[in-house]
Structure 1
Amino acid sequence: MNAVISAKNLSLTFQTNDGPVHALKDVSLDIEKGDFVSFIGPSGCGKTTFLRCMADLEQPTGGTITVNGVSAEDARMARAYGYVFQAAGLY
């Protein structure tokens, strides 16, 4: 069975004035169809950053992530999933 979400050695480093911030480092994860997954951890540990990479809102600096068997960008362009932001915004 192919994973719906597959991350292999996913990393994301933000460059700041105080130096690099390693938001994700070598994250590997496969989520199969029908799995129920929760990301639990303290503030700043990378939960939302991982979801933003999955939704193609952030670009990883290393590794790969696929959504429904294609790149996160291709999945976003095909509207192959939905995404709800943590904080609501009215436009």
Structure 2
Amino acid sequence: MTPSTLVPDEPPIARIAVDADEEATDGLFRAARRAHIDLDEVEQLHDRVDADALDTLLSHHRRGDADGEFTLAVGLWDHTFVVRPDTVEVYP
């Protein structure tokens, strides 16, 4: 599967810009809050995703020495999150 087939065809219910000095996981949590996901009622992010690896991967792609685009689509909290170096989108 190519990354574009993992991204839903519908518009996201939330989309946030990730600041250049922001960790990917912080952006992911901000996007979840914007999508009105009750983070107190869901399993911990670390139970589903290696947050340190996600932050490191995003940091690597921001430095500009990585080849190609970076898109990660992951199912979390009954939603699809699409993480790119500069944005996080949430889909139903």
What TM-score does the superposition give when structure 2 sets the normalisation length? 0.26
Question: Which structure has the larger Rg over C-alpha atoms?
Answer: 1
What TM-score does the superposition give when structure 1 sets the normalisation length? 0.26
> Hey, which of these two has a bigger chunk of strand by percent?
1
Compare relative contact order (CA 8 Å, sep 6+) and give the higher one, 1 or 2: 2
> Hey, which of these two has a bigger chunk of helix by percent?
2
